[in-house]
Structure 1
Amino acid sequence: MFFGWTSICLRARDLAASARFYQALGMEVVDELPGKRIVVRNGPFRIALMNFLDKNSIHVRGADVAAVHAACRREFPEATGQPFTYRAEDMDADADGTSWETFDPDGNAVFFDTNANETGTAGRSRLIAQTLRDAEQMLIHLGASKECLTTIGHLIEQQTRPL
Structure 2
Amino acid sequence: MKTALVPGSFDPITAGHVDIIKRAATLFDHVVVAVLTNSKKQPLFSTVERKELIRTSLEGVENVSVEAFDGLLMDIAKQKDAVAIVKGLRSVTDFEYEAAMSSMNQAIDPSIQTVFLQTDPALSFVSSSIVKEVAKYEALPENLVPPHVADALRAKFADK
Using structure 1 for the length normalisation, give the TM-score.
0.28
Bigger proportion of residues as helix: 2
Larger radius of gyration: 1
Which structure is richer in relative contact order (CA contacts within 8 A, separation 6 or more)? 2
